[in-house]
Amino acid sequence: MNPIVPSPSAVPSPSRRAFVAGLGVGTLALVLAACGRSASTSAAPAAAPSYYTCAMHPQVHSNDPQGHCPFCGMNLVPVYGKTEGQ
Ligand SMILES: [Zn+2]
């Protein structure tokens, strides 16, 4: 028995496992980075919305964040960077 030389069947398994683990960690880091970026931009807007409107009916203007479209009942979405009445 020579303990220094590993058996041929044992060699590819650990290195391959490490390679796959590295790929998984890299992919996970990318996903986490992408998620964190999108979450930070959507969760904390820099400015308060000018008003709220319906995605389907842009003529709807409301100051109520919890408001609903009077035409289709959808939740109103915030609009930024526009002055009300235009
Ligand atoms: Zn609508």
| Ligand 1 centroid to residue 40 C-alpha, Å | 28
Top pLDDT among 21 and 10 is at 21
- In the block, residue with structure tokens 């996970």: 28
Quick check: 61 and 51 in contact, CB under 8 A? yes
| Ligand 1 centroid to residue 52 C-alpha, Å | 11
| Ligand 1 centroid to residue 62 C-alpha, Å | 12
Where in the chain are the domains?
A: 1-44, 46-86
| Ligand 1 centroid to residue 53 C-alpha, Å | 8
Q: Give how far Cα 58 sits from Cα of 9, 10, 63, 75, Å.
A: 66, 65, 14, 13
Encode pLDDT of 36-65 as tens digits.
655 555 555 567 899 999 999 999 999 999
Q: Which residues are registered as beta bridge partners of 53?
A: 77
pTM confidence score = 0.42
Quick check: 76 and 62 in contact, CB under 8 A? yes
Q: In this structure, what DSSP letter does residue 13 have?
A: H
| Ligand 1 centroid to residue 76 C-alpha, Å | 8
